[in-house]
Amino acid sequence: MKKISVVLLTLTMGLMLINGCKTTSRIVAWQMPSDEYAFIEYYQTNEGKALEGEPFPGRRIDGPTYAFSSEMGEVSSFTGINSDMDSLMVMLGKGLILRGTQGGGMYSRLLPYNNLPFTEGMLEVRSISSEGVRVQWDGQPILLKAGEPWINSSSETDTIPSANGVVIVENTTTYTIVFHGFLKKGKLLYN
């Protein structure tokens, strides 16, 4: 009887110790540091190539409004940025590049976003995590990892009437999306 009492007492104390040592752990979701933002570039490149005939010159564009230095982790805006920098989550560099018979030059601009999700053209930026940025492009879900460009390209052939006869051109449209990682807000330079 004494042995049974000792065993029961030992089991009871063991259970009390196990329950007493139990800790409650909370899983904390990843959050981007408050002094950083995600920098994404989203460019469309239109390139034309004459297959037959002499096409008219394409249009010329010129208007880059920012520069990005990956080595320095800096984005420099040549124009002002209208946004609350304290709550900045994503800076989107959006641009258009023309080449060949499509024209020449580049246009770009910076678009600040303080909330997710947001849509810009066929691109929807859905969420940010330690893995990268989850986006949807033209309905297709994509995980953009830092430094890994996502590219979508398509071509079509067009016949264009010209004063010198018929011109046949191949037009290629390429969309490129690159997540450059999380940059320090202190290295975002603007007027």
Looking at every residue in the chain, the average pLDDT score rounds to 87
Cα gap 89→112, rounded to integer Å: 8
Is residue 170 within 8 A of residue 155, CB to CB? The reply is yes
Q: Determine the average pLDDT of the residues in 125-129.
A: 96
pTM score, whole prediction: 0.81
Angle at 49 between CA 108 and CA 62, to 5 degrees: 20
Asked if residue 96 has pLDDT above 90, the reply is: yes
Predicted local distance difference test score (pLDDT) of residue 120: 94
Asked if residue 133 has pLDDT above 90, the reply is: yes
Predicted local distance difference test score (pLDDT) of residue 58: 86
Cα gap 146→41, rounded to integer Å: 11
Q: Determine the average pLDDT of the residues in 70-97.
A: 91
User: pLDDT by residue (tens digit) across 4-21?
Assistant: 555 555 555 555 555 555
